[in-house]
Chains A and B, each alone.
Chain A
Amino acid sequence: MRIGVRLAALALAAALAATGCSAAEEEPARSEPVAGGVAALPRPAPTGLALRPVPAGVPAAPAVAGRLTDGSAVELARLWADRPVVLVFFSSWCAACEQRQDALSQLARDHADRVVFVGVAGEDKPADVQRFLRAHRVDYPVLLDDDGRVALSYAVREPPAVVLVGRGGKLLRGWTGGVDASTLDARLRELVLAG
């Protein structure tokens, strides 16, 4: 009888696992720092950072403000005051974003402090964003664009999209549908980074 009860319990557990009904989603451990939060903001720009001059007649980028993943406030204008900014519009459910993110994360590390990358997560859930940021080693700050205001400001209709803003807030380039890291790297060297 005992064996029978144990076997039945095992069968029940197996059935529950098979239906996926008992598999609660794992949340990030509470002790882990929030990815994309204030700790991800850049250090001061290096002294003597060599940048290319911004061409005349370039339109201004929308100087929006928002909240990072940990709730701290951020103003884009403060970030682009002394160096270029790359805005990476993404969603954790976006397959194309996922495919390109590892390389973009590495590119951001390669240009750390010289170019500020800022993620903008839209139509997403904070827990899913955290999983995405950890899975793809995103070290830069990330705005939670819950109401889509930032995306709307930049006329971004769906992820992925990338926008390059020059020092001082000039709108240099935009890529609807996103851009691969090697192309973005080439444009950074061509348009903003000198030397």
Chain B
Amino acid sequence: MRRLWVALCLAPVLAGGAAGCGSDAEETRSATTVRVLVRDINIRPVGVDCAGTGPYTHFHNRAPFRVEDGGGATLAEGALSGGRSVPAFEEDLEVAKVPTYCEFRMPVQLARRDAYRLVVDGRAPIPLTANDSEGPALVAVVPS
């Protein structure tokens, strides 16, 4: 009976470990939001689904991302959800479509580190900066 109990308890740990889905389970993680502002200055309505344009087409719904520490170790990973268009500047142009940026928000659970970087679709890491103006968040602006 004791063996059965051990096996049942170990199963989820083995499963997660085998798939690389959750190491460092004992490390404290806290909820935060990764926000990326892709400054592609595309003409769109404000507040609609968007993807990065021009040199930033790899920023799109379902694109793989990971958050890593300064040394390149992966702390969290997932897929982007769709971006949302935000005005590039605060001025009423009185037209339906205006210059916009595309903003992505991803909720993640992160262990505390001195530095964080975001990698989207295997591209070059983008530095993330802590910003608590809208709750705990790590933010990046592309291009920085």
Q: A91-B60, A123-B57, A158-B53 are in contact. Are A15 and B43 (CB under 8 A)?
A: no
* Contact call A95/B53, Cβ cutoff below 8 A: no
* Residue count of chain B within 8 Å CB distance of chain A: 35
Q: Which one of B7, B18, B51, B97 lies within 8 Å of A11 (CB-CB)?
A: B7
User: In the assembly, what is the distance between CA of A159 and CA of B50, in Å?
Assistant: 8
Residues of A within 8 A of B11 (CB): 8, 11-12, 14-15
Q: Interface range on chain A: under 10, 10 to 19, 20 to 34, or 35 or more?
A: 20 to 34
User: In the assembly, what is the distance between CA of A4 and CA of B40, in Å?
Assistant: 58
Is A47 part of the binding interface, using a Cβ–Cβ cutoff of 8 Å? no
* Contact call A12/B3, Cβ cutoff below 8 A: no
Residues of B within 8 A of A72 (CB): none
Q: A12-B11, A93-B60 are in contact. Are A21 and B16 (CB under 8 A)?
A: yes
Which residues of A pack against B, CB within 8 Å?
A: 1, 3-5, 7-8, 11-12, 14-16, 18-22, 91, 93-96, 122-123, 148, 157-159, 176-177
Which residues of B pack against A, CB within 8 Å?
A: 1, 3-4, 7-8, 11-12, 14-16, 18-22, 40, 42-45, 48-54, 57-58, 60-63, 82, 97
